[in-house]
Amino acid sequence: MKVFKKYLVLNLTSIDRFLISWIPLILAFAYSSFGIKSLQKFIRKTIWSILTVLIFFLFGILMGFMTWSSDGGNSVFLPEYLKYQPIKYYWTIFVALGIVLPVIPTTITYLKSIDSTSDEIIDN
């Protein structure tokens, strides 16, 4: 059972805290600028995006247990079962991916609608 006695040392930066606390506002800006006007559709997409962030955060934890090392400790008194993140902005990558990936299909749909309306204008 010694395998399960590993602990991750989380080091969240201010960018991580900003992204996590402002997720609804970031998504509201993104979705409103891409033409989503229905409140029900907006709420559904926001919940989906927040779930995506949670999934990516859990994926980051899983990757942490598999790839982090215990070399980050500065003291010989720290136990060996503590694992430290490899780069400073480790969590920023996962949180940003969780925010950006659900917005991409909406962006593509919006750009296709703009392209089709511009084709109609050019044809006329």
Instruction: Tell me the C-alpha distance between 91 and 16, whole Å.
Output: 7
In the chain, where are the structural domains located? 21-116
Tokens 């060996």: give the residue. 80
Instruction: Tell me the C-alpha distance between 37 and 81, whole Å.
Output: 50
| pLDDT: which is higher, 97 or 36 | 97
Provide the pLDDT for residue 44.
Answer: 86
- The DSSP secondary-structure symbol of 25 reads H
Burial 47-57 (b: 16+ CB within 10 A, else e): eebbebbeebb
Task: Give pLDDT tens digits for 57-100.
Answer: 888 888 887 777 777 666 666 666 677 777 888 888 888 888 88
